[in-house]
């Protein structure tokens, strides 16, 4: 049976960022749904909420009926994918891209500070703290709509509701974590792997933040390999460099 795929974008991104991967997956016969989270893209005027985001992803997964589904997410989308994967019976696998850190208060507070009008008072104008937060949750280089600033502060506060490590411990299906080899902020990577029953850690060589999608072809090859059964779990893998 063909595996269906749900693609979930990151914070301040949109469904448009998955265009390359969607086209490749569909060309190989995989039915694909790309979701749009509230407060993003075509839903930019809606208030963001973790609850409604989870409902959006869950509805997309269930739209395939009883067919097996993989949920693939980037950044925030990866954390949502893990959470939904632990709750929906038809999910047969999860791929989380650029998810090496929990929504830690200090990371979120750092981004809040770096995003404020006072960020110019910091020695590096808030660049270091902003980078730390954006490594996991904030869009970097993706296409699509950007949430308005009046929504963004509330969005950040809601991220505390996500507990990815706990969700991984509940997950009964394989999970693949794709992180950049040079990502300095994947602080909870080992804790995440320890919580998961079936995992494969995938490293993207020469990349700081896998969630940037600077090498979309890498993600395409990885997804097709996973769906084709070429990358089993309980191991670690470094993707071949280009």
Question: Per residue in 149-184, pLDDT tens?
Answer: 455 666 667 777 788 999 999 999 999 988 877 777
Residue 100 DSSP label: -
Residue 110 pLDDT exceeds 80: no
In a domain, 158, yes or no: no
Q: What pLDDT does residue 79 have?
A: 93
The whole-chain average pLDDT of the chain stands at: 78
Its pTM stands at: 0.79
In a domain, 202, yes or no: yes
Q: What pLDDT does residue 26 have?
A: 97
Residue 99 confidence class, pLDDT cut points 50, 70, 90: confident
Q: Which residues of 209-240 are buried (b: 16+ CB within 10 A; e: fewer)?
A: bbbbbebeebbbebbbebbeeebebeeeeebe
Q: Which of 83-87, 115-119, 218-222 has the weakest average pLDDT?
A: 115-119
The position carrying tokens 């990866």 is 78
Question: How many domains are contained in the chain?
Answer: 1
Residue 10 pLDDT exceeds 70: yes
In a domain, 109, yes or no: no
Q: What pLDDT does residue 103 have?
A: 59
CATH of the domain at 167: 3.40.50.1820
Q: In this predicted model, which residue has the larger pLDDT, 209 or 34?
A: 34
In a domain, 108, yes or no: no
Residue 147 pLDDT exceeds 60: no
In a domain, 118, yes or no: no
Provide the domain limits for residue 85: 4-102+142-152+163-238
Dihedral (CA of 161, 135, 6, 230) sign: negative
Q: What pLDDT does residue 213 have?
A: 63
Residue 218 pLDDT exceeds 50: yes
């Amino acid at each position: 049976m063909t595996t269906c795929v749900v693609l979930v974008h990151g914070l301040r991104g949109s469904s448009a960022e998955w265009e390359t991967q969607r086209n490749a997956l569909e060309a190989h016969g995989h039915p694909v749904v790309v979701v749009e989270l509230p407060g993003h893209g075509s839903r930019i005027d809606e208030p963001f909420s973790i609850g409604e985001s989870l409902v959006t992803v869950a509805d997309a997964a269930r739209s395939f009926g009883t067919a097996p589904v993989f949920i693939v997410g980037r950044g925030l989308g990866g954390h949502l994918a893990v959470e939904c994967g632990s709750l929906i019976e038809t999910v047969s696998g999860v791929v989380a891209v650029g998810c090496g850190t929990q929504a830690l208060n200090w990371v979120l507070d750092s981004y809040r500070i770096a995003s404020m009008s006072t960020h110019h008072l910091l020695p590096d104008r808030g660049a270091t703290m902003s980078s730390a937060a954006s490594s996991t949750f904030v869009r970097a280089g993706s296409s699509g709509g950007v949430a308005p600033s009046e929504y963004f502060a509330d969005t950040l506060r809601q991220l505390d509701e996500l507990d990815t490590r706990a969700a991984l411990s509940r997950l009964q299906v394989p999970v693949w974590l794709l992180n950049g080899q040079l990502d300095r902020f994947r602080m909870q990577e080992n804790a995440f792997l320890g919580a998961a029953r079936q995992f494969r850690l995938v490293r993207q060589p020469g990349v700081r933040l896998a969630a940037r999608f600077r090498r979309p072809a890498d993600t395409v090859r990885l997804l097709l390999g996973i769906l084709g059964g070429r990358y089993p779990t309980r191991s670690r893998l470094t993707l071949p460099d280009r």
